[in-house]
Structures are given as structure tokens and as C-alpha cells.
Amino acid sequence: MAFQEQPHFRYEPLDKSTDSFRLCKLLPAESGAPIECELVHDTISNQAGVYQALSYTWGKLTDRVWIRINNKEFHIHANLLLALEAVRTADKEQLLWIDAICINQREIPERNHQVSLMGHIFGNAKRVLGWVGLAANDSDLLMDYAHKYYMKADMYEEELSDPKMPDPPQAEKEAAIAAFRSFSQRDYWRRAWIRQEIVLAKELTFYCGTKSVDGWNILVMAYLLYTRDEIWENQIPDLHVSRGKLQSGMRRDRLERLVLRFGRSDCHDRHDKIFSLLALAGDTFDRADSIVDYDVDAPTLYLAIMEYARPVDITAFIVVLQEILGVCGREMITYVGRILDQNDSIEPKSQMEELAINFVLSVLKPLLGQEPEPLGHDSAEDQVDPYSETLTQWHQRCLAYTKTHMAGFSEETSPLFEIEGTDFAILTKPMPWGLLFVQLYKKEAAAESNQIADGEIIWLPYNPALEAPEDEEKQKNLTQAMKHILDWDGGLFGFVATDQQRDRDESMKRTLQEVYGIDPSNPAVDLVLNVLLVLNTASGMSGPNICLTVCRYVLTTLYGYKLVAPRVYTDSQQPLVIQPRLPGQEVQGPNISVFEGRII
């Protein structure tokens, strides 16, 4: 993601060999006065317990306003200005750490250094200040309610039923619940970084409009107001549970588990879907400096995280990782092929690239029918990476299962990605670099009793007629549209800014409307599915040419159809054991991979 240059301000460099960082002194002033700050250099260890860290959402990147830092004009996002106005006092300066101000976002090496320290920055702050946004939908009522009834609440579960806590009147409680449901839908709670910032905080205060309240009051209230199922679906009460686990010394979740649970959170840069979880995971919290690298592209990051996480729940992990990084199957195949072709000469440019290369050479080679690089080839040890065998066996089971069931699936045992609100679904083939498109299916009533019991549903292969446009100009436009969709170098699925992506999406919809007559406001699903089939043959490559990322882009991003993950998509020797995992339940062994019919 490109960051705009500060035309009037120049950063002094940080010492990246230490825990150095910058702090922003927010100067005191009366309400309505212009924001003025001073930027100072120090180290986290020297300022631990002194400064406060600001937690907020950037908002629209195009909404920019001006403040003054060190007597120089400095542009920030509009929502940050609101946050600074909310936390500023009239008589005392505030010493704050603020990512958009304290990090030179345009310098990648500094950004890598500072983001790798984010866990330490928030964990060593005296207090974290969370700016949720302007007052709306009875948020003032909610903030007052949290202060009044939960001000003595402790974060630990055994204290939550303390009879000393006042019991609010039912009408007041119902009003607070209604306000809280609106409050919990704010963009702030969907941020990727919110989890780390709150869970690691020593003390926490939430600001909303002109109100502020102790953050633990809000989290405890959320935990008590929601049912167990709602806690699974809502991050706010889950933040309370996670902080309690961390503070009580319970074992941290592995990165794999956190990616599966929280990888779909919002951020402007897709790297952060991974980097925002590093300080919380038991296998990465002390190694973030070797993982954070904003220079790496999507395939490198994908394969490096596969190498680092070595997932147990392989199918679930690759589905989520492929989705959140927006990486294309063809892009991955090309990347892997390049590494294999340059086996003896390729030199990694970073630690992350070294991880990615190692995963290809030591783990993926046997799956592709080649001899793997042995472990420790620079030493006496000469054994094959055991995870290579695990991954190969998983892949063989997936392929056998797909081939066995391609003639038709019953509704109760379908591993298909259904297109919500239609009779259609997509079958994919799992590969270590993501799911590849195989075939379209349509839901039909069982015609023969020996297929499935009367009255049940079966999924059968579906192939709409492929009609190429006769008009030469239309054919040219269609070919160009297909090229754009499959052109990973253009960044359609990579780490591009939201505004760029939106412009490309609109251009794509205009082209497909001209060629196929697909109405963007009311797209016919059979025409959209036809696009997928054309895409799958557009490149001239043999076998599947598109992946789940491309399918999701066409169906969901362009035309608003929603893909629903299979209820069961298992890695086990007996693939159709329908045993849904409960929310929060740990994975038991290497053979279970369950989806629960969630929109993806």
C-alpha cells in the first residue's frame, strides 16, 4: 500500500539496532483549538509505563486533514484528528504513541522494525486509549451504563458473578443491550490490530464521542450480555476472554489457530492480517522481527507462513490463508515453478523468502513427484522433512476423495462451496498453495431411489453452454477482461490500495456488461458462472487454471454473490465424518478440518 509523502515534514531516522521509537507529545489546548504536537525519540525500555498508546481506525485513506508537528504542517487521517481532539486535555500534555505519526510509513525498513515491536509498544504502555468513534445510536447511554454497573467488575471470570455488582433494571438493561449491538458493529471492532492492542494493554480506556469509560467495563459487560454462540461471532467479549487467558498464564494459541479465527479482520494492507497476530501467538510472539517484512509479495508471504506454521488443520488453513492474502493459484504455480527451476542458484533476499524457498524445496517437491531437499544438507544429518510426508498424504487423500465423488454429492455430505441463494456450487481441488477450481455443480432433486432416498437432494455436474461473442470487438474486450482477471502482476488480488481496487472492479464490470450483458445491479448467476468457465480456459494451460480467489472475486467482489464454506471438508482417512467442532475447541490431531457453513 502506498503512503503519501509529507511535503512539509521530514523524519529523523531511528536506530533500528535497538528498541528505539518515537513518541508524540500532544500539547494541551482548549476544545476547538488546532492540534499541535512535538515528536521525540526514545526507547521502549526507557519509557515503559510512562507513555500511552492510541488505538483507532484509520478510516478512509482519502480523508486527510492538517495538524502541526514540531511547528511543521503534517497531514493525518480525519478520524485520527477526532481521536486527538477526544483525548487532548486543556492543562496537561499527553505523551502518546500513534502509528500514523510515530512511524515513517513510507520507509519499509523502519516500518518493518517498528511493526515487529508493536507487541512491546502496546504491552509497555501505561494505558491504551481506544477511540471507537463519534457518538451515535445511544452510545452515550451505553457508556454511562458500563460505568454505572460494571465499574467494579474484574476481568477474571470467577469474579464476574460477584453479588456486590448492582443489578440494573430490566428496561435499562434492554436499552443498553440494543445500544451495545449497534456499538459492536462499528468499524473499530473489525480492525486486524485491535486484538493485539487490547489484549496486551495494562490499562485501557475507551472514548466514544465526548464520553470515556474504563475499557474493562466494556469488555466485561459484553461478556455477560452475550450468549456463548454470540461470543464466538463477536470479537468484543472474546477480547475479554483472550486477555484473561494471557494474564492468567495459560498457553498461548499457535499462529495457525489465530489465523483461522481472526485472519479475516479488516486492514488496509493484507500483510497485517498476519503481522497483527504475531505478538499474540505462542510460536511467534518472540520472533516477530524475523517475520515482519512489507517488501514480500503474496506468494512469498503465503509459503513462508505455511513453512512457519506447519498447520495441523491443513485444508482449513490453506482456505483461509488463500482468502486473506488474496493470492491466485496461477500466481503460486508460477512462483513455485521458478524456485524449482532455479534450485541451485536462487538466493533468498530476506528471511521470509528463505522460509518460502525452504518450504518449496523441502516440503513440496515430493508432492510434485520430485526428490525433496534433505534436512540439514550442510551437515551430517540427511533426513527428509517429516512434514513433507504429512502434506503429501493429505494431498493424496484430498485428490482421491474429489475423484471418487465427482459424479455427485448428497446434500448431507457435500464438500462444495455453495453460492448462497442459488442452486449452484463450486468444487475445488485442494493444493498446498490454495484451492483450485475444478467444476460447477447444480442442485437437483434425486431422480432415482437407488441414488439417494426419495425427496433428498443431489449435486450434479453443471456446464452451461459456452458461447463466444461473434463481434470481433467484443471478443477483443472479452480476451482483455480475462487477461486482467488472470494478470497477477497487475495486483488485482495482491496488496493494492482500496481505491485502486475499486477502480479496477468497476472497469471489469463495465467490460463484462458489454461482452455478456451482465447487469451489475441484477447479475444473472448463469452468466456469471459462464465467466468462470471462460476464465478456466482463457490461458490455454492444461488442468484447472483458476482458483478459489478468482471465483470469489468474480462472484462476490464484482457481483455480490456469497460463497458459503462447506459444512465438512475433512483431511481424515474417512472424509465424511460429520462432527462439527465447537467454537473455541482445540484441534485434536492432524486429521480434522471442519467448516461450519460460514460465509467466506
- Measured CA to CA, the distance from residue 24 to residue 490 in angstroms comes to 38
- Measured CA to CA, the distance from residue 372 to residue 450 in angstroms comes to 46
Total of domains in the chain: 2
In DSSP terms, 440 is beta-bridged to 426, 462
**Mean pLDDT for the stretch of residues 434-462:** 70
pLDDT for residue 264: 87
Same domain, 306 and 235: no
DSSP string, 159-170: GTT-TTS----H
Strands 20-26 and 94-97: antiparallel
- Measured CA to CA, the distance from residue 174 to residue 159 in angstroms comes to 23
Average pLDDT value over all residues in the chain? 80
Strands 434-445 and 563-564: unpaired
Q: Is the confidence at residue 315, as pLDDT, over 70?
A: yes
**Mean pLDDT for the stretch of residues 108-125:** 97
**Mean pLDDT for the stretch of residues 273-294:** 94
Q: Are 464 and 529 in contact (CB under 8 A)?
A: yes
Does 63 fall in a domain? yes
Instruction: Give Cα separations from 478 to 409, 488, 503, 529 (angstroms).
Output: 33, 17, 18, 15
Compare 179 and 581 and report the one with higher pLDDT. Answer: 179
The tens digit of pLDDT for each residue in 397-418 reads 777 766 665 555 544 445 688 8
What are the strands of the beta sheet with 20-26, ordered from one edge? 72-77, 64-69, 36-43, 20-26, 94-97, 52-55, 127-133, 204-208, 211-214
Largest CA distance in the chain: 82
Per the structure block, which three cell numbers stand in for 256? 495457525
Strands 64-69 and 457-462: unpaired
Does 377 fall in a domain? yes
Does 552 fall in a domain? no
3-state secondary structure 219-236: HHHHHHHCCHHHHHHCHH
In DSSP terms, 205 is beta-bridged to 129, 214
Does 232 fall in a domain? yes
Q: Is the confidence at residue 450, as pLDDT, over 80?
A: no
Does 478 fall in a domain? no
Does 560 fall in a domain? no
**Mean pLDDT for the stretch of residues 462-480:** 63
Instruction: Tell me the pLDDT band of 480, cut-offs 50, 70 and 90.
Output: low
Does 569 fall in a domain? no
Instruction: Give Cα separations from 236 to 144, 228, 343, 531 (angstroms).
Output: 18, 13, 47, 40
**Mean pLDDT for the stretch of residues 422-441:** 86
3-state secondary structure 428-495: EEEECCEEEEEEEEEEEECCCCCCCCCCCEEEEEECCCCCCCCCHHHHHHHHHHHHHHHCHHHCCCCC
> Final residue of a domain: which of 229, 247, 265?
247
Same domain, 45 and 185: yes
Look-up of cell digits 517488501: 295
The tens digit of pLDDT for each residue in 529-575 reads 888 887 777 655 555 568 888 888 889 888 889 988 775 443 333 33
pLDDT for residue 157: 45
Query: Nearest Cα to 335, choosing from 360, 366, 372, 305?
Result: 360
Residue 275 burial by CB count (10 A; 0-12/13-18/19+): exposed, middle or buried? Answer: buried
**Mean pLDDT for the stretch of residues 151-180:** 68
- Measured CA to CA, the distance from residue 394 to residue 572 in angstroms comes to 8
> Final residue of a domain: which of 360, 394, 428?
394
Same domain, 154 and 268: no
3-state secondary structure of 503: helix
Same domain, 234 and 89: yes
Same domain, 336 and 381: yes
Same domain, 186 and 276: no
Does 238 fall in a domain? yes
**Boundaries of domain holding 90:** 20-247
Same domain, 102 and 177: yes
Residues whose CB is less than 8 angstroms from the CB of residue 339 and which lie 6 or more positions away in sequence, other chains included: 346, 356, 357, 360, 361
Same domain, 279 and 314: yes
Q: In the chain, pLDDT over 90 holds for what percent of residues?
A: 39
Residues whose CB is less than 8 angstroms from the CB of residue 247 and which lie 6 or more positions away in sequence, other chains included: 155, 156
Q: How many residues does the chain have?
A: 600
> Final residue of a domain: which of 367, 394, 421?
394
Sign of the alpha-carbon dihedral angle for 183, 184, 189, 194: positive
pLDDT for residue 124: 98
The mean-pLDDT minimum among 16-25, 28-37, 551-560 falls in 551-560
Same domain, 36 and 135: yes
Same domain, 201 and 95: yes
- The enclosing H or E element of 26 equals strand 20-26
Instruction: Give Cα separations from 56 to 15, 21, 59, 70, 131 (angstroms).
Output: 26, 19, 9, 23, 5
Q: In the chain, pLDDT over 70 holds for what percent of residues?
A: 76
Same domain, 55 and 149: yes
Same domain, 114 and 179: yes
Helices (H), 184-254: 194-199, 215-225, 228-233, 235-247
